Structure 1
Amino acid sequence: MTTATQANIDALNAVLSQTFRLYVQTHGYHWNVEGPDFRQLHAVFEAQYQNLWGALDDIAERIRIQGAYAPGTVADLMTNAGAEDAPAQSAEEMVEKLIAGHEALAATLRDAIGTAGDAGDEVSAGLLTDRLEWHEKELWMMKASAR
């Protein structure tokens, strides 16, 4: 396996793990949000966690296509994802933490797109670009709603 391929696998693992962490965080917020914006946020969080869940399989399959095994335990995913935030208590704090989570994942995606390109993996670069597009749109909507 080349150094570029291993770097690409490592980048995909980081994206997979951070996507999983954001999925769990978002799903928890969906369960626990309350307040005057409950209905809207409950629906937004549900749409987000469903999208994140769907992305996990595609990202893991790209890791397998590269010849590596995708992380197969929650512990492995969380280790690769980095430190977890303390849970949010208010709807406003939930939105703030999700904005931060999407921004962090968008930064990881930008790096991973470059790494996939360096490895000559245009398919992963395309998948990651599509993911970045979705996260940027969600960020725009959450930031606009938080004003």
Structure 2
Amino acid sequence: MSKEKTKPKAPKLAPATSEATIDIGISKADRAAIAHGLSRLLADEYTLYLKTHNFHWNVTGPMFNTLHLMFMGQYTESSLAVDLVAERIRALGFPAPGTYSQYAKLSSIDEDEGVPAAMDMVKKLVKGHEACAKTARSVFPLAEKASDEPTADLLTQRLQLHEKTAWMLRSLLE
């Protein structure tokens, strides 16, 4: 006797809805405020990532190798960080901004025209890291008010990185 193999039936899924219910202990209004703050941070992080990558490609001069490698480490770290920030926005139930025009509206970091001298690149990156730190710090009270520990943890990590990187870059300027 041969038994015919039957295909297992696909499980029935609940119909998709336009807005899934999020019940994580943070009100929608608080989640919206935090997500907006994180969107500003994401825009700053991405703008700094792009600036750092640009400087990596275009740095010249006696410190070329040192700065080229340093900038590569920094933009590599930034590329991972933008994903973490965007995913936290999504976990809070809001779309993450992802276009240059959105970033231009949300970011506190200006784009650079042309190719600055190597030490001017360092100065601009110090300002960029300090701007990211200020933006992260501005979101912290919103996360604390809502008892949003995952966001607070993310912000703490970003603050530590940006403050340390700014210090290291400033050390090159002395």
State if a TM-score over 0.5 links the two structures.
yes
One-letter amino acid of the counterpart of residue 121, structure 1:
D
Superposed CA RMSD in Å reads 1.4
Which ranges of structure 1 fall in alignment gaps of 5 or more residues?
Answer: none
Q: Which residue of 1 aligns with 2:148?
A: 121
Question: Normalization by structure 1: what TM-score?
Answer: 0.94
- What's the CA shift for 1:114? 1.9
User: For residue 127 of structure 2, what is the amino acid of its counterpart?
Assistant: A
**3-state SS of the aligned residue for 2:32?**
helix
Corresponding position of 2:22? none
What aligned pairs does 1:89-100 form with structure 2 within 5 A after superposition?
89-100=116-127
1:55 is aligned, of 81, 84, 107, to 81
The count of aligned residue pairs is 147
TM-score by length of 2: 0.80
Paired amino acid for 1:43: L
Gaps of 5+ in 2: 1-26
Which digits, 9 at most, give the CA deviation of each residue in 1:95-144, with x for residues without a partner?
Answer: 00000111111111111122211122110110110011011110111111
Q: Distance in 1 between matches of 2:98 and 2:57?
A: 25
Deviates more, 1:84-93 or 1:65-74: 84-93
**Using the alignment, how far apart are the partners of 1:72 and 1:105 within structure 2?**
17
* CA deviation string 1:71-104 (max 9, x = no partner): 1322212221146243352001000000011111
Structure 2 counterpart of 1:20, one-letter code = Y
User: Percentage identity across aligned positions?
Assistant: 39
Select 1:134's aligned residue among 161, 165, 170: 161
Q: Which has the higher helix share?
A: 1
Distance 1:141 1:105 in 2: 15
Larger Rg: 2
Higher relative CO (CA 8 A, sep ≥ 6), structure 1 or 2?
1
Q: 1:7 aligns with which of 30, 33, 41?
A: 33
Contact 2:109 2:131 in 1 (8 A): no
CA distances 1:44-91 after superposition (whole Å, capped 9, x unpaired): 100000001100111111001101011132221222114624335200
